[in-house]
Amino acid sequence: MVEVGAKPETAREAVATGEVRMAPATARLIADRKVAKGDVLAVARLAGIQAVKRTADLVPLCHPLRVTGVDLELTCGRDRVRISARVRAFDRTGVEMEALTAVSVAALTVYDMCKAVDRGMRVVEVRLDEKRGGKSGTWTRATGRGRPRTR
């Protein structure tokens, strides 16, 4: 585990996104709240938020952080569910892993709740879109500016 004790605590923020692609009929069931297991978007949202809080338990060598906020949005399209997670903390290391874990677990929850009606679903394009704070500053996928430094 990387030593972070000497690093200053600063505001940190990360945004991750991903999608679950599916048959249009499955997306309609989700949008109409007619999936047998329940309200897919609500349950997946809660699962993603819970995953943020458990990231250090799930990802080896990931530091536990004091998360100050999580915004998790799931939107249903014609043949997909889009997932976006924004995670904030005031700590010594970034929240990228927490944002990525939120999206991943929310996507897996969508898959789990709908697999009885659509085995062909795909979890795709889980990625970090933005990060802010700390020594490496700001980076956004859209601009490619402020690329995080590599060791």
List 32, 57, 112, 129, catalytic entry? 112
Instruction: Tell me what pLDDT residue 1 has.
Output: 67
Instruction: Tell me what pLDDT residue 98 has.
Output: 96
Instruction: Tell me what pLDDT residue 151 has.
Output: 42
CA 101 vs CA 31, 55, 86, 89, 130: distances in Å: 24, 7, 11, 15, 15
User: In the chain, which stretches have pLDDT less than 70?
Assistant: 1-6, 145-151
Instruction: Tell me what pLDDT residue 142 has.
Output: 81
Instruction: Tell me what pLDDT residue 68 has.
Output: 96
Instruction: Tell me what pLDDT residue 103 has.
Output: 98
Mean pLDDT of the chain: 91
Whole-angstrom distance, CA of residue 65 vs CA of residue 80: 31
Total-model pTM? 0.89
Question: Catalytic residue at 112?
Answer: yes
Taking only the tens place, the pLDDT of each residue in 31-63 is 999 999 999 999 999 999 999 999 999 999 988
Whole-angstrom distance, CA of residue 16 vs CA of residue 97: 9
